[in-house]
Amino acid sequence: RLKSLGVSTLQPVAYGVIGLNPATRRPYLVTQDLTDTISVEDLGKQWLTQPPSLVLKRALIKRVATIAQTLHSHGMCHRDLYLCHFLLHLNEPELRVSLIDLHRAFSSPRLRRRWLIKDIGSLYYSCLHLNLSQRDLLRFIRYYDPRGLRYAIGRNADFWQAVSTKASSLYRRHGDAA
């Protein structure tokens, strides 16, 4: 489904089930290897000593926000949405980011607000150590919320406050482990 929405992800090549007993059977999936990639989290850690170009930073913020918005607007929730699950493809002429680790993802005709807050809060938590500016955060909000920045920080401010609270809660619980 992600491919049909324009979100780059893993390409399945085989699947199966291990075990005969229905109570202990475990499914598995084999995917094509994603080579020449770096997680956006690892790339962000490099930014602390070697800042990125403004063009790359803005393009990554836009792409990650667009992927999250696409998932959520089509009734999908990742449930483990951290920067480490976004892979930047290196040595490609255009920016390409793949979303991985989909084993906990689910789909629902109408996602509950708490799932959106969990996803975006987890993503925000994984960005806390990157020293993103207020403008970077507002840029993410602008691309995530199709109604625009003014609506997001005005009429939808409670959502973004809940996202910030979720990120802070994760930080208190896990520290800088994202």
Render pLDDT for 29-60 as a digit per residue (tens, 0 to 9). 898 888 999 999 999 999 989 999 999 999 99
Confidence of residue 23 (pLDDT cuts 50, 70, 90): very high
pLDDT digits (tens, 9 = 90+) for 104-153: 999 999 999 999 999 999 999 999 989 899 999 999 999 999 999 999 99
- The arithmetic mean of pLDDT across residues 69-83, rounded, is 96
Catalytic residues: 80
Considering 101-105, 163-167, 169-173, 174-178, the range whose residues carry the highest mean pLDDT is: 163-167
Q: Which two tokens mark 96?
A: 């390409």
Q: Is the dihedral of CA 121, 2, 10, 53 positive or negative?
A: negative
- The arithmetic mean of pLDDT across residues 2-17, rounded, is 92
pLDDT at residue 177 tops 90: no
3-class state of residue 104 by DSSP:
coil
3-class state of residue 98 by DSSP:
strand
